[in-house]
Structure 1
Amino acid sequence: MGREDTEPEVPVDAVGRRVFCGGERATVRYVGPVPPTSGLWLGVEWDNPERGKHDGSHNGVQYFTCSHPKGGSFVRPAKATFGVDLLAAVQQEYLINPEKVLSEDVSVSCRKLEWEGVTERSFQDLPSVVLNNSPVNGPGAAGEIRKTLPNVCWLDLSGTLLSSWEDVAAITEQLDKLEGLQLHRNRLTLPSEPSAHCQAFCNLKVLALNQCQLTWPQILECAIMWPRLEELFLEENNITALQRPEAVLQTLRSLSLVNNPLVDGALLGISALPRLENLNLSGTGISVIQFEAAAPGEQTLMFPALSVLNLSNNHISEWFVVDELAKLSRLVKLSCKGNRLVSRDGNPKTARQMVIAKLAQLDILDKCSISSEERRGAELDYIKMFGEEWLKAGGPGQPNADFIKQHPRYQELIDKFGAPEESELKKPQPSTLKNQLIKITFVFPGDSDRKPIEKKLPASMDVLKVKGLLYRMLKVPAADLQLSYKTPKKPEVEFEINNDQKTLQFFSVEDGDQVLVRWS
């Protein structure tokens, strides 16, 4: 720790304030001396703990505490920026580059916004203000925001130096037309009286709080401030369980919980939200969804309005989960790619057919519309696929309870198409290696002289073995290899293969795909 000869003035309320330091955001936890050095120090807890050095202690003295054992540092005040008020930030951002007022492409939580009605470069005409990664620390002089930005409907304050919900409310209460607010990557202390700030967010419909280290109880504590909220984005937070909202979030139509570490069974806590239509649970680690109060083939009273559900990139491997989804009365759009729902023949196309056959009301699966021809083919194939088991379980009379539990829609399909002829039945086939082989092409983006290599590999082959094969071909250690793949269905997208223990099939690598091989 060095010494600065000149020290700038530190705000009286510095502890708890947010600062920029060396391009990173941090929260001030301590202001004062750190013997044996002279002068003033700021003890900071970094948003990115990898930036830190210790837990807030020095030479055996604990000056402050951190949530991460290496998340703290001491910095000189001259190295830290405490930021500016909102209007000063607007002036810096937009007057330096006036063209942004008309030309900036604005996005709020994946939603593109238009500059409708803007004819002059005037702050008073701005419908949206984007201050992403700007050093905004508060509202500034009372009433000035209302005078200067009277028409703002959308506000992006992601990655700023705001430190509390009171600071946010002091800004939004002056924006009478505000409907959308984006606050990604902030660290906001909870309000002491949330109900006192309802007016500040009275027209808010869209709120985005990704990467804010929030828990669900904290969301529920704040939710009374958002009486008309319709869309809530809470991706990559610290949400595990989902306690039942009481008298809050009742207007919510869309909820995104992407990449939160949810525990199985958590969904039941939000199942009574009366207007929830769209729920994104991608990457949450769930493996089971059950609505036990409803018998197989019946519909549940839970999630009464849910029509769009994203379950991609989770740990779902049991087909009964799909049968449980059939109990959702309004579900018409489902994404479930990146799970381990495997058919007997190991063919992803067969697995898609099974999902379609099990979910009668589904219109869109994994972003692809289900045509009437595809549905008819999937349902007929499903009848043939499990016809022999149906016959053994009782057939045209009354199949036994176990068969009904595993195939709750089967009798409905028999009523629709008729019972299968014995010659049509698809007898269960062992999942042979030949049936599972897929042709993939290895390409090497970092080595232009190396030609692509085609291989036929089992879909059940795990990534570690693929890397072993590549080691024998390339003489590059498996630990240094990074894999991804591209598919002709989405040539513009590159999908990561980031778990050595998973199979090619787990990552949905299919026949004809390209595997991109890079190494360090």
Structure 2
Amino acid sequence: MSTGNDFVGRWFSIDGDSGIVRYHGAVSGAKGVWLGVEWATPNRGKHSGTHSGHQYFQCQKGSGPHGSFIRQVDRIIWGQPLLQAAKQRYIVDDLAELNTLPQAIDGRRGKIEAVGLDKIAMEQSDLRSLSVLGLDSLRIDGVDGDAEETKWELANVRTLSLANNYFTQWDRLLGILRTLPLVEILDISANHFESPVRITKERFTVDTLRVDSSGALTWLDIVNVAQQLNVRSLSFGWSQLAAVLDTPVEWYLEELHLESNEIKDISPLAHLPCLRLLNVRGNPISNIALDFSTVCFPQLHTLNLSHTLLAQWSAVDSLLGIASLRTLAIVSTPLTAKDMAPQIIARLPQITKLDGSMITPDERTEMERYYLALCSRSTTTNTTTTTAGAQEIGFLLVDRMAAEFPRIHELVAKHGMPPPPAVERESRLKSRLASVTLMVVRSGGKEVMISESRSLIRMMLVRQIRPIVVKLAKCRGFRLEVSNDEMEDHRHWVALDNDTRPLSYYGVEDGSVIRVLVD
């Protein structure tokens, strides 16, 4: 027999609206038993749990009329047990249903024959064979029913997705983990857990936890949950999280995904001793202020700062202090609106992968030299110099540049002195441009169809000259080769085989010939 406590705290939906039950019982002046509910649906509700001057319940969403009293009618849709939902999704009750499975699937390039769907359906009907269980959006709110049967039927589940279900109380989720102790990957995103989460003394081991789209939970809730489950990898994105203050010192988390929140400062995470991956993509971070008088991110290997608000090079330079950093993503920021990869590579010698591309030793050398030239151009002087006095002026400028370019002394020692601005300005355009010949030739033949001289920027990427070649050759099917021989026959050709490398990587200079082999 159900009691009032069986209803209080449960999520429900009715006629397309949803909410949580806060009260079950009699209401003064009204006959029968009522449900006092707090609506999640916007603009639904007339009060905050008070009727005729008596407070029956309190709404948790804050100020505003989110509460109502409703009858317990059959139209109310309640949550269901885990096992019931699993059977609903995976078990074929009637073998005749297999005959209704599609024999072909419409693909982008026509019909695709669907082979073995009936066999897959039969295998999935044996719940004990499943290690991955996807039960999103099935109104699950706990184990209930026969826990032993659930434990038997789902004994081999290791990956469990329960996103967008009817959970409100943390102990209901723990009941599932007690029943399915082998679960290693758990997704409980977009549920309705209430804050503060009541943590018990029990301890579990879940390797990966996703609690995305859960704006009702606080950072403290998430930390407590992750520690109780002994989580190695945690995702708490799209949840309006504004700060990560009071992060525990002894929290041995290895991966943390906080994508698309409202975080502006990541320094409270710097002390985490085992953190190897941090993803703060899509947060309004405009600066990175780390205090390197103490240990900061001692194990951090991968950092994603893409789609943030970084606009100052000082933020990138601060990453110099993270010696373990190897992989960095930083696309779509104000700082990197243009192609700033050369500067980033030169400023951070420890990284080996930038925005998904590996950095080769040759690329690093080229980028560092290019960066030295940028450093020199950024410093102005009123001193008129000649080439003979350039070296002495250069040493003075390097000291002046050190505050803005922390690696300048190291790079000068490695690659030599950058030319002073007065000298560099005279040859800037000449050093950047190369006068080359673009020669269109049919593949396999020697007949020159078109030959044209062009001035190209040596730091242009191979992919950036392709539009020029398309317009010249009037086709899109071609291969590019370059020859830097001084001989007229240009016998030695090198393929421009990497679109992400600059022309200078292939030695393009004045007099080079770029051959366009048309298919």
Same fold? TM cut 0.5: yes
Q: Which has more radius of gyration? A: 2
Partner amino acid, structure 2, of 1:194: I
State the partner residue of 2:21: 28
Matches of 2:373 and 2:82, distance apart in 1: 65
SS in 2 for 1:194: coil
Using the TM superposition, give the Cα deviation of residue 87 of structure 1 relative to its aligned residue in structure 2, in angstroms. 1.1
State the partner residue of 1:340: 334
State the partner residue of 2:224: 221
Partner amino acid, structure 2, of 1:410: I
Partner amino acid, structure 2, of 1:186: N
Could you tell me whether the CA contact under 8 Å between 1:385 and 1:425 is conserved in 2? no
Query: Counterparts in 2 of 1:370-449, with a 5 A limit?
Result: 370-389=359-378, 392=381, 396-397=394-395, 403-422=401-420, 425=424
Could you tell me whether the CA contact under 8 Å between 1:334 and 1:364 is conserved in 2? yes
Using the TM superposition, give the Cα deviation of residue 41 of structure 1 relative to its aligned residue in structure 2, in angstroms. 4.2
Partner amino acid, structure 1, of 2:244: L
Structure 1 position 208 matched with structure 2 position 204: no
Matches of 2:306 and 2:94, distance apart in 1: 42
Structure 2 vs 1, CA of residues 285 and 426 (structure 1 numbering), >3 Å: closer, same or farther? Answer: farther
Structure 1 position 171 matched with structure 2 position 176: yes
Give CA-to-partner distance per residue, 1:460-513, whole Å, 9 cap, x none: xxxxxxxxxxxxxxxxxxxxxxxxxxxxxxxxxxxxxxxxxxxxxxxxxxxxxx
Matches of 2:68 and 2:292, distance apart in 1: 53
Could you tell me whether the CA contact under 8 Å between 1:56 and 1:66 is conserved in 2? no
Using the TM superposition, give the Cα deviation of residue 255 of structure 1 relative to its aligned residue in structure 2, in angstroms. 0.4
State the partner residue of 1:262: 263
Unaligned runs of 5+ in 2: 102-118, 383-391, 429-519
Using the TM superposition, give the Cα deviation of residue 96 of structure 1 relative to its aligned residue in structure 2, in angstroms. 4.9
Could you tell me whether the CA contact under 8 Å between 1:29 and 1:43 is conserved in 2? yes
Partner amino acid, structure 2, of 1:13: D
Structure 2 vs 1, CA of residues 81 and 426 (structure 1 numbering), >3 Å: closer, same or farther? Answer: farther
Matches of 1:217 and 1:401, distance apart in 2: 47
Matches of 1:192 and 1:52, distance apart in 2: 26
Using the TM superposition, give the Cα deviation of residue 256 of structure 1 relative to its aligned residue in structure 2, in angstroms. 0.7
Structure 1 position 354 matched with structure 2 position 352: no
Give CA-to-partner distance per residue, 1:428-464, whole Å, 9 cap, x none: x9xxxxxxxxxxxxxxxxxxxxxxxxxxxxxxxxxxx
State the partner residue of 2:285: 286
Give CA-to-partner distance per residue, 1:27-83, whole Å, 9 cap, x none: 212335667776554333344x42634453678866532415354455443232222
SS in 2 for 1:360: coil
Matches of 2:344 and 2:17, distance apart in 1: 46
Give CA-to-partner distance per residue, 1:366-390, whole Å, 9 cap, x none: 2333344443332222111121455
SS in 1 for 2:171: helix
Could you tell me whether the CA contact under 8 Å between 1:316 and 1:339 is conserved in 2? yes
Q: Paired residue for 1:246, among 242, 245, 248?
A: 248
Q: Paired residue for 2:296, among 299, 302, 310?
A: 302
**Equivalent pairs, count:** 391
Give aligned-pair identity as a percent.
Answer: 26
Matches of 1:156 and 1:55, distance apart in 2: 36
- C-alpha RMSD over aligned residues: 3.7
Structure 2 vs 1, CA of residues 164 and 66 (structure 1 numbering), >3 Å: closer, same or farther? Answer: closer
Matches of 2:284 and 2:411, distance apart in 1: 33
Structure 2 vs 1, CA of residues 71 and 311 (structure 1 numbering), >3 Å: closer, same or farther? Answer: farther
Give CA-to-partner distance per residue, 1:253-299, whole Å, 9 cap, x none: 110111222243xx2222122221111111221111122335xxxxx
Unaligned runs of 5+ in 1: 1-7, 104-114, 295-299, 430-520
Structure 2 vs 1, CA of residues 388 and 236 (structure 1 numbering), >3 Å: closer, same or farther? Answer: closer
Structure 1 position 137 matched with structure 2 position 129: no
State the partner residue of 2:72: 77
Structure 2 vs 1, CA of residues 159 and 119 (structure 1 numbering), >3 Å: closer, same or farther? Answer: closer
SS in 1 for 2:179: coil
Matches of 2:223 and 2:14, distance apart in 1: 32
Structure 2 vs 1, CA of residues 308 and 22 (structure 1 numbering), >3 Å: closer, same or farther? Answer: farther
